[in-house]
C-alpha cells in the first residue's frame, strides 16, 4: 500500500542526528523547512536543532502520524517492533534502512502501512 507523506503533519525521525553530513540531520531539516512537525528519536542526544529528542519510539506522542527510519536495518527492525507494539501503524524506510528480513516481517503486520521505495525528501517536494 503506498502512502503520500504530504498527507501527514507529525513525523518522527528514527535515527536523527546533529551531524549535518548525515541523512538523519538532512531529512530532519528538510521536513521542518517544508512545514512538518518533526519529532527526532535518538538515544544519543537531548536536543537537535532546538527540538526535544525522544530517546525511544515508546516515548513519542501517540498522535505522531508517520515514523521515518534512517538507521541500519538491524536497528530498524528492532525499532519497528517497538513502534508497532506502541500502537504506531505508518512506517517509512529511507533507502538503506530496509532489509529482506525487515520486509518479510512487515508482511506479518497486516494493519500497518509501509514505504520502502523512495526518499521522503523526494516524495515531499
Domain that holds residue 99: 5-123
> pLDDT digit string (tens) for 49-77?
999 999 999 999 999 999 999 999 999 99
Model pTM score:
0.96
**Cα 95 from Cα 87, distance rounded (Å):** 24
Question: What pLDDT does 1 receive?
Answer: 47
Question: What pLDDT does 58 receive?
Answer: 93
Question: What pLDDT does 3 receive?
Answer: 84
> pLDDT digit string (tens) for 20-35?
999 999 999 999 999 9
**Cα 44 from Cα 121, distance rounded (Å):** 24
In b/e form, how buried is each residue of 88-100, taking b as 16+ CB within 10 angstroms? Answer: bebbbbbeebbbe
The x, y and z cell numbers of residue 7, run together, are 498527507
HSE-up of 62 (CA within 13 Å, CB side)?
Answer: 3
Q: How many domains does the chain have?
A: 1
> pLDDT digit string (tens) for 97-122?
999 999 999 999 999 999 998 999 99
What CATH number should be reported for the domain holding residue 104?
A: 3.40.50.720
Question: What pLDDT does 2 receive?
Answer: 64
Amino acid at each position: 500500500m503506498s502512502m503520500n507523506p504530504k498527507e501527514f503533519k507529525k513525523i518522527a525521525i528514527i535515527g536523527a542526528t546533529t551531524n549535518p553530513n548525515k541523512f538523519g540531520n538532512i531529512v530532519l531539516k528538510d521536513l521542518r523547512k517544508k512545514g512538518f512537525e518533526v519529532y527526532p528519536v535518538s538515544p544519543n542526544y537531548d536536543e537537535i536543532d532546538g527540538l526535544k529528542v525522544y530517546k525511544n519510539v515508546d516515548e513519542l506522542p501517540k498522535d505522531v502520524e508517520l515514523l521515518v527510519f534512517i538507521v541500519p536495518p538491524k536497528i530498524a527492525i528492532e525499532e519497528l517492533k517497538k513502534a508497532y507494539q506502541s500502537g504506531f501503524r505508518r512506517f517509512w524506510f529511507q533507502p538503506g534502512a530496509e532489509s529482506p528480513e525487515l520486509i518479510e516481517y512487515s508482511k506479518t503486520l497486516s494493519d500497518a502501512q509501509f514505504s520502502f521505495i523512495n526518499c521522503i525528501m523526494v516524495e515531499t517536494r
